[in-house]
Amino acid sequence: MLNRPTLTQFIIESQGHHADATGDFTGLLNDVATACKAIASAVARGALADVLGSAGSGNIQGEEQKKLDVIANTTMIAANEWRGHLAAMASEEMEHILPTHQRGRYLLVFDPLDGSSNTDINMTLGTIFSVLRTPDNGRDPVADDFFQPGTRQICAGYALYGPSTMLVLTTGQGVNGFTLDRNLGEFFLTHPDMVIPADTSEFAINMSNERFWYPPVQRYVAECRAGRTGPRGRDFNMRWIASMVAEVHRILNRGGVFMYPRDLKDPAKPGRLRLLYEANPMAFIVEQAGGMAITGEARMLDVKPTSLHQRVPVILGSTNEVQRIADYHREAPVMAA
């Protein structure tokens, strides 16, 4: 075990490649990793620690907050707010940004507990995070500072709370996965240089929304389902875990396509997933692993955010399949946004 680098060693070694590094970013990643360990511990104790069920409140998206959503959010804030690396944080669970007590060089945006409909049934959950630079303008942080396209992320990652806890990370030089040794309390590098196979015969989508999808996605999924006798000439498999972290993790390990596309279910929502703390960090990770991430019509990382809790359609995974879906969008008649 000890012949593998720990996450801390890995980050320090990577810092050594940047002559101008101050240790600030290394400190920030360590704080985020510590928060993820604490959240993993709360998730793992589950019913024994009375952390399951509703918190009796709702978030800004009008979704019911689970007790674990609130615990995970509080944990991430506590691990970061006094450490001096951040100027502000933004989270799925907070309507507004949270300026920190010092004017640090970075902004942290996170979904503290992704897939929270899985909390009460002891299924896979995750934490997603993304790091941006604080604009160098000398003023107090405002929400606008977070409205940077995904290409400007300097780091993105997720923790996966499954049979084992993992932390998967990119700083723009590939993707590396670390597994938590609970006895030692350390993440160890177990999945170096993760690469998504370009081809796949597996897709993930909530099929119950099929009638609301736009035609290009209906076409793609219909062709997959037609299998060997259809236009694709081979059988496809389908998975749906209802936790984006779990779906992306599977895709990083064996390929696949994940879709939460634009649909007509609620015309006020152009998608289900949130750009800043779900779609962008995952798109950065997927691209760094050689995959592709789009809204349908556009590259995800090029979308210019306009609000903190903005929703977007998401299609990501194995390049050749995502490219095919992008082509289907291009060939389809233009649809109203």
Report the interface residues with ligand F6P, using CB under 6 A.
114-115, 117, 206, 242-244, 260, 272-273
Q: Residue 301 Cβ, how far from ligand F6P at the closest point, in Å?
A: 19
Question: Nearest-CB residue to ligand F6P?
Answer: 244
Q: Residue 150 Cβ, how far from ligand F6P at the closest point, in Å?
A: 17
Q: Residue 204 Cβ, how far from ligand F6P at the closest point, in Å?
A: 8
Contacts of 48 (CB under 8 A, 6+ apart): none
Helix, strand, coil distribution of the chain in percent, nearest 5: 35, 25, 40
Contacts of 129 (CB under 8 A, 6+ apart): 32, 76, 108, 109, 110, 111, 156, 157, 158, 277, 281
Do residues 124 and 162 lie in contact, with contact meaning Cβ atoms separated by under 8 Å?
yes
Q: How far apart are CA 317 and CA 166, in angstroms?
A: 19
Q: How far apart are CA 131 and CA 319, in angstroms?
A: 25
Residue nearer to ligand F6P on the CB measure, 85 or 249: 249
Q: Residue 15 Cβ, how far from ligand F6P at the closest point, in Å?
A: 31
Within a 13 Å sphere around the CA of 319, how many CA atoms are in the beta-carbon half? 9
Do residues 315 and 322 lie in contact, with contact meaning Cβ atoms separated by under 8 Å?
yes
Q: Residue 329 Cβ, how far from ligand F6P at the closest point, in Å?
A: 20
Residue nearer to ligand F6P on the CB measure, 59 or 100: 59
Q: How far apart are CA 157 and CA 178, in angstroms?
A: 11
Residue nearer to ligand F6P on the CB measure, 272 or 329: 272
Residue nearer to ligand F6P on the CB measure, 37 or 274: 274
Closest of 61, 133, 129, 108 to residue 284, by C-alpha: 129
Q: How far apart are CA 312 and CA 128, in angstroms?
A: 16
Q: Residue 272 Cβ, how far from ligand F6P at the closest point, in Å?
A: 6
Q: How far apart are CA 270 and CA 276, in angstroms?
A: 14
Residue nearer to ligand F6P on the CB measure, 114 or 186: 114
Do residues 166 and 178 lie in contact, with contact meaning Cβ atoms separated by under 8 Å?
yes
C-alpha distances in angstroms, 78 versus 3, 71, 168?
32, 10, 22
Q: What is the DSSP string of 217-239?
A: HHHHHHHHHHGGGSTT-S--EE-
Q: Residue 168 Cβ, how far from ligand F6P at the closest point, in Å?
A: 15
What is the bridge-based pairing of β-strands 257-260 and 202-204? parallel
Residue nearer to ligand F6P on the CB measure, 35 or 160: 160
Residue nearer to ligand F6P on the CB measure, 246 or 303: 246
Residue nearer to ligand F6P on the CB measure, 81 or 202: 202
Q: Residue 19 Cβ, how far from ligand F6P at the closest point, in Å?
A: 39
Residue nearer to ligand F6P on the CB measure, 122 or 173: 122
Q: Residue 126 Cβ, how far from ligand F6P at the closest point, in Å?
A: 8
